[in-house]
Structure 1
Amino acid sequence: MDDRAEDVLAGVGPRLRALRRTRGITLSALAAETGLTTSTLSRLETGKLRPTLEQLLPLARAYGVPLDDLVAAPPTGDPRIHLRPVRRSGLTIIPLTRRAGGVQAYKVIYPPAGQAASKTLKTHDGYEWFYVLNGSVTFVLGEQVFQLGIGEAAEFDTRTPHWIGSAGDQAAELLTLFGVQGERAQLSPGGFRNAHP
């Protein structure tokens, strides 16, 4: 066990004693409430006994506090995602998830229309959902062409030939969910208008 874990465990006893005294409970009354013996409780409070989960859970219930409060658990690791943007074919792709498999999330920035790569339709396995965060895009799906603006979304099978590009003179930003195995987002397509009836 490392020094940090030892320090956490060493602090449990004084916290238990302080909680019991603050609430004005005797060891006997606490033993009756938790099912632990008075001897066990005394040894936990003095640090002569290393606490186990089976001992701490009834104590947390008796005191009405989260288990983390009893052990003063150190904070968990940094939850922020620090993934680097990737630049490909004029696009800036920022991964927002870091787990393998399943649906992946990305923020994709499409350059202004005049700087976009050629409108070559592509196909690949998977299913994609995107939401326009900023700007507007032209979305080609098979023989249909759609214009989508801020707040609009689309969902499609990526085996259908498709192309997405900025529709204006500013970059377009999209939130994209992509599933390689064809997982679908739970949101329905809608709200976008067909540019060529």
Structure 2
Amino acid sequence: MSTDPLAAPDTARDASAGWEAVVGSIGPKVRALRRERGLTLQQLAHAADVSTASVHKVERGDMVPTVTTLLKIAGALAVPVRFFVEDSEPTHAAVLTRFGDAVRTGPVVITGPPDRFRSSGTVARLEPGEERPGLRRAGETLLVVLEGRLDVEVAEARYTVSAGEALHFPSWLEHRCRNSGETTAEIVAVDVPDV
């Protein structure tokens, strides 16, 4: 314990370190959500009605946003403002997702929180004859077929992707998947948004 009467108490230093960590995490959280939603800096700024320079400075940690700016950004990203100020230090370096039989009832997201990871993944099953259009956005998609076979159309080119094969393509191209086989196709789709 310090004998200096002017020295800050340990609790004050701990509190200061706590809020500094929260403020320091705002920019990375904004950037991660913007990327996860496939938005450019300009698109987010327009949606939030703030300048592009402000969004850029917030993301880089060069500026602490005002409450008003943070509310606007949170609204544009469709998250509560508390998302940016809650202490969300990960307790573990990795995120384990168990999906097992859950994928039988629909696609299962196999992704960690967007404030920590850029990519997003989904496990899905397509029944024979089922077709799904792809979501067009800046970035890339890696499609892995675990079981069955898929016909994938990417910008008018057609590919047949069988079990044990993968197809990697820019997500901004028009694309769709169709199970033209006679058995269920099980796939993993990993999307990485553009920076």
Same fold flag (TM > 0.5): no
Q: What TM-score, normalized by structure 1, do the two folds share?
A: 0.41
Q: Which of the two has greater helix per residue?
A: 2
Task: Give 1 or 2 for the bigger CA radius of gyration.
Answer: 1
* Higher relative contact order (Cα pairs below 8 Å, separated by 6+ residues): 2
Q: What TM-score, normalized by structure 2, do the two folds share?
A: 0.42
